[in-house]
Amino acid sequence: MSGRLERDALFPTLLAFTVHDIKNSLGTLLELIRQFSAKRQTEAGDLGLLEFEAVRINHSLMQLLVLYKVGAQKFSLDIDQCAVLDLLQEAVDQQARLSTLHEVELRLDCTDELQAYCDFDNIANALAAVLNNALRYTRQTVLVSAEQDGDYLQIAIEDDGAGYPPHFLQADLTNAAELDWVNGNTGLGLYFVSVIAGLHKNAGRCGYVKIDNASRLGGARFRLFLP
């Protein structure tokens, strides 16, 4: 019962920070629209940014809805077998426009044979949210990869940026109260993927997330482990 009360008490906080994130995106959209009106024509880059911010708002609202359903015990996973390459490609495709706009090389490393048992849509959307942040903070390259790691499937997103700030590395990603959502800019995505990962269970094992600054490219590294 206490766990349910804690989730109910936390939801207003999640809502407040998510609204803050959505407002930031809307502010960017409005400014781009003003620029469009002033110029009476829009360059391709501006159109891309408009599309990107609209997609980002949609993702934030989707994540909030899923988190609400989880807290209200009205959410269930849709587990099925899928090719991991298809899963990663879906996340990459969602962020392809942003990588082009930022002139970032987006590399994908995964064999055709690797398989996963997971909720395809929610995992793909969660990975896309993490990839979005990697594209924002990297310098030139982002690497998305997957491999079998013992009893877990490991999916990694690595960049060549400055790395995660200390407060993120020290935080418990499963505890929303420990994340600096407003200033950190990655709180919702990391918390969302941590929640979704934890719901994946198999043979007594649960999915989980790790972050560090041990990227092979020299920056941040995000890893998702699915049982």
Which CATH number fits the domain that encloses residue 142? 3.30.565.10
Q: What is the mean pLDDT of the chain?
A: 82
55, 71, 87: which is the final residue of a domain? 71
Residues 90 and 165 reside in one and the same domain = yes
Q: How confident is the model at residue 71 (pLDDT cuts 50, 70, 90)?
A: confident
Look at residue 31 in the predicted model and tell me its pLDDT.
74
Is the separation of the CB atoms in 130 and 191 below 8 Å?
no
HSE-CB of 117 using CA atoms within 13 angstroms: 9
Q: How confident is the model at residue 3 (pLDDT cuts 50, 70, 90)?
A: low
Domain count, the chain: 2
Lowest mean pLDDT among 148-162, 166-180, 188-202, 213-227: 166-180
Residues 100 and 171 reside in one and the same domain = yes
Residues 89 and 45 reside in one and the same domain = no
Residues 197 and 89 reside in one and the same domain = yes
Q: How confident is the model at residue 227 (pLDDT cuts 50, 70, 90)?
A: very high
- Of residues 34 and 202, which shows the higher confidence score? 202
Phi, psi of 111 (to 5 degrees): -80, 155
Residues 93 and 152 reside in one and the same domain = yes
> How many whole angstroms separate alpha carbon 59 and alpha carbon 57?
5
Residues 167 and 189 reside in one and the same domain = yes
Q: How confident is the model at residue 163 (pLDDT cuts 50, 70, 90)?
A: very high
Query: Radius of gyration of the chain from Cα atoms?
Result: 18
Residues 138 and 156 reside in one and the same domain = yes
HSE-CB of 200 using CA atoms within 13 angstroms: 24
Residues 119 and 183 reside in one and the same domain = yes
Look at residue 30 in the predicted model and tell me its pLDDT.
66
Q: Which residue has the tokens 């719901």?
A: 199
Q: How confident is the model at residue 212 (pLDDT cuts 50, 70, 90)?
A: very high
Q: How confident is the model at residue 184 (pLDDT cuts 50, 70, 90)?
A: very low
Q: Is the pLDDT of residue 66 over 90?
A: no
Residues 114 and 221 reside in one and the same domain = yes
Q: Which of 24-33, 62-71, 144-153, 169-178 has the highest mean pLDDT?
A: 144-153
Phi, psi of 218 (to 5 degrees): 105, 0
Length of the chain: 227
Q: How confident is the model at residue 141 (pLDDT cuts 50, 70, 90)?
A: very high
Residues 83 and 10 reside in one and the same domain = no
The two tokens of residue 157 are 């997103």
Of the chain, the percentage scoring pLDDT greater than 90 comes to 44
Is the separation of the CB atoms in 85 and 210 below 8 Å?
no
Residues 152 and 191 reside in one and the same domain = yes
- Taking the alpha carbons of 133, 137, 138, 139 in that order, is the dihedral positive or negative? positive
Q: Which domain holds residue 181?
A: 79-226
